Amino acid sequence: MVASKEYNAEYYILNRERIKKRCYTYYNENRPARLRKQAEYKIRNAEMIKKKSKIERDEIRMSILNYYTKGKMECACCKEKNLGFLTVDHVNNDGGVHRKRIRNNLYRHLVKDNFPPGYQILCYNCNSGRDKTPGKICPHQL
């Protein structure tokens, strides 16, 4: 007999505590086995996991570069087009404070927050130059 969605929903409501307790017990009793299986999977598939992570990181980075450069894919200051040199810059020079607050990958944070304002794309030289000059101005603009 196939149970309907309505029956399943009603059954869960009526037996919620019992189901939760059973799941919790199963989860705790089988934790060592689950962790062992996870570790074995990671070892067996390390190369695939690494490739998948790199592809995901590259896609995230490209979407950020595309959004903040409005499709031009170049430094906002010197117009450098080499993608390897382009970085995200905090317009208000509050990057250190912001990184401490979010405590994780800046790129993932930007995507999760739906590309908030206050960022621009600069090449590494312009980004570092802003940090080193008085007034936090890129050396190209002095």
pLDDT tens by residue, 42-80: 999 999 988 888 898 899 999 999 999 999 999 988 898
Within-domain flag for 31: no
Max Cα separation, the chain?
78
In a domain, 79, yes or no: yes
Q: How far, in Å, CA of 4 to CA of 127, rounded? A: 59
The answer to whether residue 34 sits within a structural domain is no
Regarding predicted confidence, which is higher, 97 or 88?
Answer: 88
> Where is 120: in which H helix or E strand?
strand 119-123
The values of phi and psi at residue 137, to 5°, are -110, 140
Model confidence, pTM: 0.64
Q: How many domains does the chain have?
A: 1
Please report whether residue 21 resides in a domain. Answer: no
Q: Determine the structural domain holding residue 112 and report its residue range.
A: 45-141
Band the pLDDT of 2: cuts 50, 70, 90.
low
89 falls within a domain: yes
Backbone angles phi, psi at 61, to 5 degrees: -60, -45
Q: Long-range contacts: 112-116, Cβ < 8 Å, 24+?
A: 115/64, 115/67, 115/68
pLDDT in tens, 6-56: 888 999 999 999 999 999 999 999 999 999 999 999 999 999 988 888 898
